[in-house]
Homo-oligomer: A and B are copies of this chain.
Amino acid sequence: MAKLLGHSMIGFESGGGTDDTFRAMNPRSGEPLAPDFFSATREDVARAVELAHHAFAAYRQTSGRDKGRLLRHIAGRIESIASPLIERAHLETALPKVRLETETARTVNQLRLFAGVVEEGSWVMARIDRGEPARHPLPKPDIRSMLCPLGPVAIFGASNFPLAFSVAGGDTASALAAGNPVIVKAHPAHPGTSELVGQAITDTTRDLGLPEGVFSLLFDRGTQVGIALVEHPLVRAVGFTGSRKAGRALLDIVAARPEPIPFFGEMSSTNPVFVLPEALRRNADTIASGLYASFTLGAGQFCTKPGIVFLPEGAEAGAFQARLRSLVEGSKGFTLLSAGIHSSYCSSVAGRRTTNAVTVVAEKPSLAQETGFEAGAVLFETDADSFLNHPDLGAEIFGPSTLLVRHSSRDELLRIARNLEGHLTATIHGTDRDLHDFQDLISVLETKVGRLIVNGFPTGVEVCHAMVHGGPYPATSDGRSSSVGSAAILRFCRPICYQEFPNSALPPELKDNNPLEIWRMVDGQMSKKPLSQRGRC
């Protein structure tokens, strides 16, 4: 096991830190894990941001090839420490090693995906409208634009993906790929994992000769460092994955800044599942098994966990429910990630248990002698009317629980759908006939979510170009973005336009001869060709 120091990394140096130390907890035992981690000071935050601001002047001009090299080297270095990294992550999160191996693979794949995107280069959406000096009544100027980075980006590590959405996760990878320095606020539930990855990034940036400040890592047991970070005037954007409460608090702080900045918070989603009549008749068992696997995957601690399931009442619903009941009753206990998630899960389940018209279909009682953050799966059910009358039944419960909602008619189902808040995903189980009969349900759901899934499950978010991991509020604070997949890079940039620039002063992406051979929109047409002579000489 690598030696952990417990200090923030401010550029290439250790942060000072305060006496306010904290330790990771072993979720299995509830016992603290050495060493002590030192919460960063306000001065640490300021220095990290100032270094990032200064580093931005050079880093924003770094070529796609060199940014690609950085991301690939970070990926390689993470692979080279995979064994101690997974060891420590396993201690801090109690996630199974096989899951952490998969997550390590996902993390390095994400880094390489963004490396590929910036090496190829077309992501900047270069647009060129050639001038027409002879146009009447006024000459048409030569106008060219492309996406450019924003400046220092603050990233909040998420508790539930200690690797893939933490220090070197998708937010960091996409922000670095776009050309932004990154300051990560480590999640206090896995500080050792964070330190190991943070050291890998720091070492890589130093080895590659990048300016100090392209990356910093800040520890904090509480909320002060995060607040100081998003309030800092030189921070230009924020990426956050976490609870609705924390996300909204940060969003409000960001909105109150003298100079507001983009805040990309991925916060809360119950991911409704709609089992349509014919599919239920034909595939109740398969869907029930898949649903069970999905809502208990990772102990139910995924943003995309299906937390509400709508099905038509009747005999088939009974069979579906019976199948789920037996799966829940046969389940083992689950270990949650942190004391906070554990207590929140327990109190949410207790609250739902006492809600009128909601019944517990099945549960796996917790062990009599509880140790650590253990919890059992709970399956609830209710009817459509009660669901409509208790808005809190639509709220996310983070952990291995879901709610079945029986409805009595298509109209009732549509009323429920129209009444939904924003979610990351909605899932429909349906035959071809069901999908045809419920086209209007699909239309309603298109206005409610970022991703629609047919005959699958929302957990297991594919990292690819077309993925959308986002959705209307409160799923995210800005439903026009995705935090997974290559489009995530579009969050951390803005267009800059060059009017009548001489060719020599233009960035390579916009030069006449298209030296990077990227796709560009030239006079409204997509093209990889160099500019012909019509335009400029």
Contacts and interface: CB of A to CB of B under 8 A. Distances in A.
Interface of A: 56-57, 60-61, 116, 120, 122, 127-129, 138, 140-141, 143-145, 148, 150-151, 251-252, 255-256, 259-262, 422, 432, 435-436, 439, 442-443, 446-447, 449-456, 460, 462, 464-468, 470, 472-474, 477-482, 486-487, 493-502, 504-505, 519, 521, 523-524, 526
Contacts of A150: 479-480
Contacts of A140: 462, 464
Given A432-B502, A454-B502, A473 B260 contact: yes
Given A127-B487, A260-B477, A148 B446 contact: yes
B524 A465 contact: yes
A497 B465 contact: no
A61 B450 contact: no
A362 B341 CA distance: 68
A516 to B, nearest CB: 14
A452 B501 contact: yes
A261 to B, nearest CB: 8
A392 to B, nearest CB: 15
A494 B465 contact: no
A143 B464 contact: yes
A466 B496 contact: no
Given A259-B474, A260-B473, A466 B500 contact: no
Given A56-B447, A252-B255, A260-B477, 11 more contacts: A150-B479, A151-B447, A432-B502, A435-B504, A442-B505, A451-B498, A452-B496, A452-B497, A452-B501, A454-B498, A454-B502
B442 A127 contact: no
Contacts of A256: 255
A410 B57 CA distance: 18
A206 B462 CA distance: 44
Contacts of A467: 129, 143, 145, 497
A264 to B, nearest CB: 11
A456 B140 CA distance: 12
A29 B306 CA distance: 66
- The count of identical subunits is 2
Most-contacted residue by chain B among A127, A422, A460, A477 (CB, 10 A): A127
A371 B210 CA distance: 63
A185 to B, nearest CB: 22
A129 B497 contact: no
A457 to B, nearest CB: 10
3 closest residue pairs by CB, A with B: A255-B255, A468-B497, A127-B466
Contacts of A451: 496-499
A46 to B, nearest CB: 18
B494 A129 contact: no
Nearest to A431: B502
Contacts of A442: 505
Nearest to A137: B102
Q: Residue among A57, A143, A259, A486 with the most chain B CB within 10 A?
A: A143
Nearest to A105: B137
Nearest to A252: B255
Contacts of A56: 447
Contacts of A436: 504
A495 B499 contact: no
A466 B145 contact: yes
A168 to B, nearest CB: 22
Nearest to A418: B57
Given A144-B466, A260-B251, A500 B57 contact: no
A80 B287 CA distance: 60
Contacts of A496: 446, 449-452, 468
